[in-house]
Amino acid sequence: MSELTDELTDLGVTQASQRLAARDVSSEELTRAFLERTLALDQGTSQAIGAYLELSAESALDQARAADALLANGDPTAPLTGVPIALKDIFITRDMATTCASRILAGFKPRFDGTVVARLREAGAVITGKLNMDEFAMGSSTENSALGTTRNPWNHACVPGGSSGGSAAAVAARMVPGSFGTDTGGSIRQPAALCGVVGMKPTYGRVSRYGVIAFASSLDQVGPLANSVEDTALLFEAVAGHDPRDSTSIPQPAPDCRGSLHDGAKGLRVGVPGEYFGEGLDPEVEKSLRALLAALEREGASLVEVELPHTEYAVATYYIVATAEASSNLGRYDGVRYGLREGEDGGLTNMYGASRDAGFGAEVKRRIVLGSYALSAGYYDAYYLKAMKVRTLIRRDFDQAFENCDVLLTPTSPDTAFELGSRTDDPLKMYLSDVLTIPCNLAGLPGLSLPCGLDSKGLPIGAQLLAPPLAEPLLFRAARACEELVGFDQRPPEQDLAGGAGK
């Protein structure tokens, strides 16, 4: 890779936008640099990162040239004009296949853009392609993808997290300055933590889900990933706001999150829930978080001990609610209208069974079975109804905590990135990877993960901030204050990115 490529791919979203507006660089030059880096790092060797499922190079360059024409003519342009952005392959896109990393959607090419994609295009972003994920967003390591494995740029022997593992890995490896994923139980924040980037989940309903393939409709939410808090805030502002096509969309415009970004930590009341610092937390992760809490206190924030007593029930509650909703949402994949079709010679019922058997992976099948059982006659009250009641208690815990503090600060993940294959035979251990992120989704809160240092193995540690509903400006302010205190500027080792084994 050339020196110019290295220089340009070091630019974040905000920096790239500023350089483009000043005409210091063209969008075509910028886009070519990111494409060149992607081709060098993402494909062609056994140790390739494997973040992209589809790299749409020619389309991206066409978009870049169109952005350059706008910039050259002095036309009014949005902050993302000419900036490359990549998408988790869960977003409906009119010009690229949408597979959800599943064989059941093989060959599916939508005829329209979802709302988030449309808003990014309106903002002038250059869409470079679709990123790998756990199949139908069901997983915590991106190992459940039916279309290939994604590796962690910090150590190729480790997972990038999931389900938005491709989205986090692509940003960490500087293949793209920003990306979008979805978060149902931590699927943006957990991979952001494991890959050393910033990942944000908005309040449920802040960002439209129209044109996003559903996993669990009452939990799914779209959010951005980038290398800084400011970049993440800019991306969030570009896609947030009411959408009448989404019945769960909050009827409010996108908030201004960058206006108060640099207000600092002084005066913030930072809640510290003891339940998030208990058994199972890696000592190095806890040490890093405690150091950040102490630094915040020195900067004028006050630390408040809070209790979230129903946290211990969150994982069990989530895996009833989420699987129940998944079993309903995935009933539409039957081989009739689109995607994979098998066994049609044996009649309609046989075609349904054969298509689903061949099209769904093991984890997706597991969750469909669990969800169908929880909703079945005689078990609905015992499982699903009880889970919804506990979900309400979890939300009340947060409401009470926020009466005494502005934000909560916790670890994002109990540990750092784990080795590929180390948890695939133990679903429960894999599910517990999200034990610290799941409560946020059950309560519909905004949450953000940012890097908080490296452990002794050289792997990133993530800190998680949670805020009250619709308090995204406060969330970003607190996150920027933490970012300044941590001063995280490490990059994945270049020798690993070039295709060697990780440390």
Q: How far is CA 323 from CA 138, 179, 229, in A?
A: 10, 27, 32
Q: What are phi and psi of 302, to 5 degrees?
A: -110, 135
- Asked whether the beta carbons of 153 and 496 are under 8 A apart, the reply is yes
Nearest-angstrom CA–CA distance, 401 and 307 = 7
How far from each other are the two terminal CA atoms of the chain, in whole angstroms?
22
- Asked whether the beta carbons of 152 and 105 are under 8 A apart, the reply is no
- Asked whether the beta carbons of 27 and 64 are under 8 A apart, the reply is yes
Nearest-angstrom CA–CA distance, 503 and 181 = 27
- 3-class DSSP state of 334: coil
- 3-class DSSP state of 92: coil
Which ranges in 309-361 belong to alpha helices (H)? 314-329, 348-359
Nearest-angstrom CA–CA distance, 27 and 48 = 26
Q: Nearest-CA neighbor of 95 among 120, 61, 130, 119?
A: 130
Q: Which residues are annotated as catalytic?
A: 88, 163, 187
Which amino acid belongs to residue 496? D
